[in-house]
Amino acid sequence: MAVNLNPDDFIITRKRKLYKFALFANSPLCFEVEQWQTTLPTDVLELGAGTGLFGVSLAEHAPASHVLAVDVKADRLQTGAQQALEKKLTNIHFLRARADQLLELLPVHSLQKVWVTFPDPFPKERSAKNRLTHPKFLAVYQTLLASGGELYFKTDAVDLFTWSLEQLVREGWRIDELSFDLHGSDLPDDYKVMTTYETRYTGEGLSIHFVRAVPPIATV
């Protein structure tokens, strides 16, 4: 059966994406890698931030912290940047970057918290090296976390979660808090602030898996 496609639909979609990129480029809170100022204070990192709205909540509820929301897609990050501007928040920034660029962008032992929220599970084993809880990325977080710093990880993907727990244990991280049903647990409400994906997944009846972990002695 033939399907009639309207070329104007693609034009509208492209214009909308270009508009979002323009919002990102013109926001005082948003940065590309080459624009990032390493002197800007950062002690809380959200990686795979998506729309950045979770980072906005972190910044709003902890005004003494300095949050950096990182994602590879600028058109998504600008959503959080717009909200942060509306709320007049000055303790959050948004950066379009990859996880493997973090060591070039942030000082060693500068972070108190790293949040990894609903990353791509990369279910195929050959793509395991791209998972944000792969040992190569755990080593990055370990290097960036200050003494007493912690990793917080949320996902709805149970296979990714159990695999990630295995990596944490194998790499010597200490598991301090763990739940296969975060919102049904008695863990602190601070952990239950929802990301955009989390709101959708819980609305579909999915359980959210959560772990708080402490790295072994940090390396330089």
Q: What is the pLDDT of residue 106?
A: 96
Q: With contact defined as beta carbons under 8 Å apart, do 54 and 115 qualify?
A: yes
DSSP state for residue 155 in the 8-state scheme: E
Q: What is the pLDDT of residue 4?
A: 61
Q: Look at residue 6 and tell me if it is in a domain.
A: no
The domain spanning residue 117 has which CATH number? 3.40.50.150
Q: Look at residue 87 and tell me if it is in a domain.
A: yes
* Active-site residue (options: 8, 75, 100, 120): 120
- Its domain, for residue 77, covers 30-214
Q: How many domains does the chain have?
A: 1
Reference 66, options 118, 106, 96, 8; nearest CA is 106
Q: At a CB cut-off of 8 Å and minimum separation 6, what does 30 contact?
A: 24, 74, 77, 78, 81, 93, 94, 95, 96
Q: Look at residue 9 and tell me if it is in a domain.
A: no
Query: Is-catalytic flag, 120?
Result: yes
Locus of tokens 């303790």:
91
Along the 220 residues of the chain, how does pLDDT read in single tens digits? 555 655 555 455 666 666 666 777 779 999 999 999 888 899 999 999 999 999 999 999 999 999 999 999 988 899 999 999 999 999 999 999 999 999 999 999 999 999 999 999 999 999 999 999 999 999 999 999 999 999 999 999 999 999 999 999 999 999 999 999 999 999 999 999 998 889 999 999 999 999 999 999 744 4
Q: Look at residue 23 and tell me if it is in a domain.
A: no
Q: With contact defined as beta carbons under 8 Å apart, do 193 and 47 qualify?
A: no
Q: Look at residue 2 and tell me if it is in a domain.
A: no
Question: CB count, 10 Å around CB of 191?
Answer: 17
Query: With a threshold of 0.95, does the pTM exceed it?
Result: no
Q: Look at residue 93 and tell me if it is in a domain.
A: yes
Q: What is the pLDDT of residue 88?
A: 97
Locus of tokens 């599970």:
121
Q: Look at residue 12 and tell me if it is in a domain.
A: no
Q: What is the pLDDT of residue 218?
A: 47
Q: Look at residue 1 and tell me if it is in a domain.
A: no
